[in-house]
Chains A and B, each alone.
Chain A
Amino acid sequence: MSNITELIKKEIESLSTDATRTNIGRITTLADGVARVDGLSKVMFNEMVEFPNNVSGIALNLEEESVGCVVLGDASRLKEGDEVQTTGRLLSVPVGMGMLGRVVDAIGNPIDEKGPIDSSENYPVERIAPGIIPRQSVDQPLQTGIMAIDSMIPVGRGQRELIIGDRSTGKTTIAIDTIINQAKINKLGEESGDPDFRPVYSIYVAIGQKNSNIARTIKALEDNGAMDYVIVVAAPAADNPANQYLAPYAGCAMGEWFLRNGKDALIVYDDLSKHAVAYRQISLILKRPSGREAFPGDVFYLHSRLLERSARLNKDSGNGSLTALPIIETQMGDVAGYIPTNVISITDGQIFLETDLFNKGIRPAVSVGLSVSRVGSAAQVKAYKKVSGKVKLQLAQFRELAAFSQFESDLDAATKAQLDRGARIVEMFKQGVYSPVPVSVQTGVMWAMENNFFDSIDVSRITAAVESLKEYFSSSGKEVVQKIHEEGNLTKGIEEDLRRAVEDWKRSFA
């Protein structure tokens, strides 16, 4: 009992005894999670406001006579005439290492029933992106573990690479595979005890998704042992649009902590189309003027200010990085839509997934012609660059020739060879879900393809052969893969070892 009284006494002692000054207002209208408030003449833009019954909100529309506030909690507990007061605080979320392994909502409250979050620091959800001086160009790879991407559309740390495609084309799978690959690399790096090893922590922001989908994603991350390195920010479809609007900014604030503390982080925004829709809903309720497709005029700024916060900082600024993988869902493959073109122009490249390829069983269904990485090749490992340099061109030529060859029965030998090689590359790039491949193994497989080791194998058996070679590299051929990993370049000696290893594998495979 004495402990309890002591506790309360301590709390009383810590209370401020100064007179307080607050700015208040009254709710005049309340609809769809947005309150219009009369008064609050001194409120700041994006300031948190306090409604009765422990409900909070943010001031988003500052007008001459009233303020439009988005309610963050249960709006049904509020009514017209209720008093609203300013807090003097901008919306902020908990950040730090204690967030890893946790599932939180858009304002950083834990929703995974694992108790309170161990975090002593808070970051504001809205922050100005790093300027020009602290930045440096992308020069370190961020390996996705997906052969088609790491070879043709490489991503670097600090890059913004858009994943775009119709519904059910494997967009989320690519993002989750990348997160799982980072976790695998982190584990190996930590085990190796290398002091220069830089782990990549991941943040997955689910916006407007079904709860069942989010649960499935979390399960996939847990099953693959990635959850220890991941923060999940969930604003499901059932959440109010305000939370869906805020979730990416909250996730970005969590990622910025890693960036500003000299660490590397990866953030996935799944997806920004739904984010734009949630923002449109809020804007329409706030009676902001609407433009194309009823989106407000600042929908470009909505995404540009978010994605600009991803950066690679230079050594003087801590050498941290925040890589962004935003996802956009297209309608009927239309990449020329309003939101897709906006985000394409903001990002440093895009991975375009095609429904036709997906339905043909070519998974990941990456469209070679429409996918590009504008800065990633500078970050690609030398050894990999050497073997994958021609692949994109070969595959693009194959797609073109394949279309023509449908009308031509009698083809010359060179065209036949190109078609043959293309078909084999397509088969090589087929990869199962949640099975990322280390880049050193990918290098070995690509080298074998470049050096015609798959030419004698029937096209229908290429996928099996590639799988078998990957297995060989993780068992008998482990040494050569390790050498590639350590050297980072294909020296003559390594190429000789590689040749011997692949010949050895081929004998066993045949």
Chain B
Amino acid sequence: MTASPRIREISKKLLRLTLDEEGRMVEAKVCEVLETLRANPSRYHKLLLQLFLDHAIRESSKGLAIVEFAGKPSDSSIESLKIELSRQYGRNIDVEMRENLDLIAGIRVKVFDDVYEDSASSRLRPLERALC
């Protein structure tokens, strides 16, 4: 079923209800919203929950930086990265570290749909394209 603009709007309002002053989702508020929805199920209950889930995933990814590395950076580097990203995005950014050996060397940071990359594989990519 396709969601009507009204359902989309309601799902966005629900998301706004779960945010704290810093713009982060609060678990208790999410539970409260889910409880209210369960108590008063609408005709589009499942669709509304699905849209709410999509927004929640999108929102949480906006506050999370996935840092991929080939050689683990120092704790101080991670901390300074966290501070810089929080400053740039104007919100508190959490960091999740993941090892990715495909990078060969360097780092790749993904915040929602922005990707910052300084790795050996990213430098080799244009060369590969040029030689193909």
Contacts and interface: CB of A to CB of B under 8 A. Distances in A.
A20 B113 contact: no
A410 interface: no
Interface in B89-132: 110, 112-118, 122-123, 126-127, 129-132
Contacts of B113: 23-25, 39-42
A11 B131 contact: yes
A22 interface: yes
Interface string A2-26: 0000001001100111111111110
Contact of B115 (A12, A16, A17, A85): A85
Contacts of B114: 21-24, 42
B8 to A, nearest CB: 8
A104 to B, nearest CB: 21
Contact of B116 (A17, A21, A40, A54): A21
Interface in A37-68: 39-42, 54, 65
Contacts of A39: 112-113
Interface residues of A, number: 21
Nearest to A22: B115
Given A17-B123, A24-B113, A41-B112, A11 B130 contact: yes
Contacts of A54: 129, 132
A41 B122 CA distance: 22
Nearest to B123: A15
B114 to A, nearest CB: 6
A31 to B, nearest CB: 15
Interface string A202-234: 000000000000000000000000000000000
A40 B114 CA distance: 8
Contacts of A15: 123, 126-127
B123 A23 contact: no
B123 to A, nearest CB: 6
Q: Which of A15, A19, A42 gathers most chain B CB within 10 Å?
A: A19
Nearest to A19: B118
Contacts of A22: 114-115, 117
Interface string B27-59: 000000000000000000000000000100010
Interface in A263-303: none
B4 to A, nearest CB: 14
A85 B129 CA distance: 15
Q: Which of B113, B118, B129 gathers most chain A CB within 10 Å?
A: B113
Nearest to A287: B2
A23 B126 CA distance: 17
B115 A24 contact: yes
A37 to B, nearest CB: 10
A309 B38 CA distance: 58
A11 B132 CA distance: 13
Contacts of B127: 8, 11-12, 15
B2 to A, nearest CB: 9
Contacts of A16: 123, 126
Q: Which of B115, B117, B130 gathers most chain A CB within 10 Å?
A: B115
11 contacts: A16-B123, A18-B118, A20-B115, A20-B122, A22-B114, A23-B114, A24-B110, A24-B113, A24-B114, A25-B113, A40-B113
Given A12-B127, A21-B117, 5 more contacts: A15-B126, A17-B123, A22-B115, A23-B113, A42-B113
Interface of B: 54, 58, 110, 112-118, 122-123, 126-127, 129-132
